[in-house]
Amino acid sequence: MAQTLRTLVLLILTGWFGAGDAFAGSSEPAGPAPTGWWERPVHLSPFSPPKSQTVEAADGLRLDSRWSLRAYGGYLFSTRIEQSIEIYHGTIGVSRELYGPVDFSLDFFGLLVRDEENWAGGMGLLPGLRLFIYRSRNWWVAFEAGIGGIFMEDPFPSRGTKFNFIETGGPTIGFQLGQGHLILRVRYLHVSNAGIGVGRKDNPGISAAGLCAGYEIRL
């Protein structure tokens, strides 16, 4: 009876946890790692195959490659009939797998903006999140959004302030190209000083939409 119970316990441990060999004293290697999404590390998406890759350097150090480097640029135009504004922008940033289908990103960007009266340039930082809606080995679809700040060389719009907050959002599609992905984005952008401008009561704001394209590569 005791032998039967011991055998049953070992079978359960072997089937459920792959640990039966350890209890039985066997030197055989354990079975394959679990592949169900609920058994994967939390940084892997439940909607798709794992995106992370771990590479081994020449000195034996194992490097986590959940970081990506991306660069893109685009053209946006005002969505308000009363405004005639054009925006040209360039961005370079990094992203990292955060949890499941969510990535965290931090972008450094520059803007060149034109309205009816003048041109103005500025630079800023934009933290954001990317939620993957669909992801396969060759392409993916996601929604990105972020809130940050920008400092312009001149008050912009003309009745505004030099420092402004910036909000962005929109869908993104990535296609595998070489060692990385070609990125295409539809982007909505809003610039506003939120009424905190010192010595100014105006908060004219800018709302614009447009297209962006760039490239993202795994580090």
C-alpha 37/C-alpha 87 separation (Å) is: 42
What pLDDT, in 10s, does the model give residues 138-195? Answer: 999 999 999 999 998 887 767 778 888 999 999 999 999 998 999 999 999 998 887 7
Residue 50: pLDDT over 60:
no
Q: How confident is the model at residue 83 (pLDDT cuts 50, 70, 90)?
A: low
Bigger pLDDT: 42 or 80? 80
Find out whether 170 and 137 touch, Cβ atoms under 8 Å: no
- For position 144, what pLDDT does the model report? 96
- For position 123, what pLDDT does the model report? 95
Q: How confident is the model at residue 81 (pLDDT cuts 50, 70, 90)?
A: low
Amino acid type, 156? F
Bigger pLDDT: 214 or 39? 214
Bigger pLDDT: 88 or 49? 88
Token output for 197 = 């401008």
Domains in the chain: boundaries: 2-64, 67-218
Q: How confident is the model at residue 48 (pLDDT cuts 50, 70, 90)?
A: very low
Residue 200: pLDDT over 80:
no
> For the chain, what percent of residues have pLDDT higher than 70?
64
Find out whether 215 and 183 touch, Cβ atoms under 8 Å: yes
Q: How confident is the model at residue 65 (pLDDT cuts 50, 70, 90)?
A: low
pTM of the predicted structure, to 2 decimals: 0.67
Residue 205: pLDDT over 90:
no
Q: In CATH, what number does 67-218 get?
A: 2.40.160.20
Closest CA to 87 of 122, 126, 127, 130: 122
Token output for 187 = 């982007």
Cis ω before 49 (30° cut-off from 0): no
User: Mean pLDDT, the chain, as a whole number?
Assistant: 75
Q: How confident is the model at residue 105 (pLDDT cuts 50, 70, 90)?
A: very high
C-alpha 37/C-alpha 187 separation (Å) is: 31
